[in-house]
Structure formats: structure tokens, C-alpha cells
């Protein structure tokens, strides 16, 4: 059962969709002022003591396409990581990526202000993506027998995502911070005891 196998995935995926539903109800989609009131990071100036914004911004999205892309990747990548690291560590990777991306965005806003507000789960998703890539390339994780097509797909998504980060209105620093922190998480993650000494199917 998906809920029992992937509680972290269900929690994160459901919370992102719920937050977007609330955002729609309050008219926040496409409205910068409402998004800021709901927890977005201002792209100009400092956090002004509102440090919770480095977390809350990740549960807000600019529009339907934005939330659809992030939610789809979150559903796929989170399950991939959770299957290998467990629920607690997967939540840790995601949240560290979100907060690290938020801090990077806030720092950029303080030194290089611009018009607008930053929202979206992309930093957390980027952390999961980088973590998954590192895990699938570690020799010890060969027990999972993950096909090369998945690795190629992950690398393609990473390259396309970083290229898209160069477009106006997309946070390059947030994505880079997520990728860096997720990669570190994948490198430091211990091999689960049940995998040692026996092969396991990829799923």
C-alpha cells in the first residue's frame, strides 16, 4: 500500500497540493502581495526577521503549471529516495534542500534585489533529484539493480532544470543550493541494513 510504503512522499505531495488549494481559495495565484502574505520570500531586501519564510515559500506556487511540474517530480523522486533511505532521512533531505534554497534566495535578495517574490518546491525537489542521482551511482547501491535508463532520465532532468534556471523569473541560486545539499545527503547516507549481503529489486 502506497501510504504505508511511502509516508514521507504522501505527506509532502499532499501538503503541497493542499497548500495550493488554500492559495487558490485566497486568490494568491499570480498575486505577488498575497503570496508574500502567505509566506513567499521577497526578491528585494532582507527577511526582516521573518526567518520562517525560508521554509514556507516552498509550499506556494505561481500557477497551475508550476505546481504540476513540482508535484509530479516530487511524487516520482521522493518515492525513489524514500525506498532507499527510509521516510525520516528522505524528509530530512527535502527539508534541508528547501531551507538551504530559501537561505540562498534570501541572501541573493539582500545583496542583489529585484522585483517579485520567490515561491515553489523546486529547491527541495532539486535536493531529492541530486540525492537520487548520487545514490544510484554509489557502488554499494548496485544491490537495487536500477536500470541505466533511470539514471539517464535523472541526468536529463538535472541538465534541463539547471538550464531552465537561467531563464528570467527562475531561481538559479535556489536550485543550485538544493542540488548541492541533496548530493551531500546522498554521499553521506548509510546503506540500509536489509540490503547488505543480498540483492534487492528496483521498484
pLDDT score recorded for residue 196: 41
Q: Which contacts (CB < 8 Å, 24+ apart) does range 38-42 have?
A: 40/117, 40/118, 40/119, 41/102, 41/105, 41/106, 41/109, 41/117, 41/118, 41/119, 42/109, 42/117
pLDDT score recorded for residue 141: 56
pLDDT score recorded for residue 147: 67
The greatest distance separating any two alpha carbons of the chain, rounded to the nearest whole angstrom, comes to 55
Domain count, the chain: 1
Per DSSP, which regions of 91-190 are E strands?
A: 117-118
Each residue's pLDDT tens digit in the chain (203 positions)?
Answer: 466 789 999 999 999 999 999 999 998 888 899 999 999 999 998 899 999 999 999 999 999 999 999 999 999 999 999 988 999 999 999 999 999 999 999 999 999 999 999 999 999 999 999 999 998 887 765 555 566 788 889 999 999 999 988 888 889 999 999 999 999 999 998 865 544 444 444 33
Domain that holds residue 183: 2-190
In-domain check, residue 201: no
pLDDT score recorded for residue 140: 62
In-domain check, residue 75: yes
In-domain check, residue 73: yes
In-domain check, residue 82: yes
In-domain check, residue 96: yes
pLDDT score recorded for residue 194: 45
User: What is each CA distance from 178 to 24, 106, 150, 182, in whole angstroms?
Assistant: 26, 14, 20, 6
pLDDT score recorded for residue 84: 87
**Polymer length of the chain:** 203
In-domain check, residue 202: no
- What's the CA gap between 97 and 194, in Å, rounded? 27
CB atoms within 10 A of CB 202: 14
CB-count exposure of residue 81 (10 Å: 0-12, 13-18, 19+): buried
CATH of the domain at 41: 1.20.1540.10
Is the overall model pTM greater than 0.85, yes or no? yes
Q: Which contacts (CB < 8 Å, 24+ apart) does range 27-34 have?
A: 28/60, 29/61, 29/62, 29/63, 29/64, 30/62, 30/63, 32/116, 32/117
Amino acid at each position: 500500500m502506497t501510504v504505508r510504503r511511502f509516508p514521507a512522499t504522501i505527506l509532502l505531495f499532499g501538503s503541497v497540493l493542499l497548500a495550493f488549494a488554500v492559495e487558490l481559495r485566497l486568490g494568491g495565484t499570480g498575486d505577488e502581495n498575497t503570496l508574500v502574505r502567505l509566506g513567499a520570500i521577497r526578491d528585494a531586501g532582507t527577511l526582516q526577521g521573518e526567518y520562517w519564510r525560508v521554509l514556507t515559500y516552498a509550499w506556494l506556487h505561481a500557477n497551475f503549471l508550476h505546481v504540476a511540474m513540482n508535484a509530479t517530480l516530487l511524487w516520482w523522486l521522493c518515492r525513489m529516495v524514500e525506498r532507499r533511505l527510509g521516510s525520516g532521512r528522505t524528509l530530512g533531505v527535502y527539508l534541508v534542500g528547501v531551507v538551504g534554497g530559501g537561505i540562498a534566495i534570501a541572501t541573493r535578495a539582500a545583496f542583489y534585489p529585484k522585483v517579485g517574490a520567490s515561491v515553489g518546491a523546486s529547491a527541495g525537489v532539486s535536493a531529492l533529484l541530486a540525492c537520487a542521482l548520487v545514490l544510484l551511482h554509489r557502488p554499494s547501491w548496485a544491490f537495487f539493480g536500477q536500470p541505466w535508463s533511470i539514471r539517464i532520465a535523472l541526468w536529463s532532468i538535472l541538465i534541463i532544470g539547471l538550464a531552465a534556471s537561467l531563464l528570467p523569473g527562475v531561481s538559479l541560486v535556489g536550485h543550485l543550493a538544493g542540488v548541492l545539499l541533496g548530493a551531500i545527503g546522498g554521499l553521506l547516507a548509510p546503506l540500509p541494513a536489509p540490503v547488505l549481503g543480498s540483492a534487492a529489486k528496483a521498484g
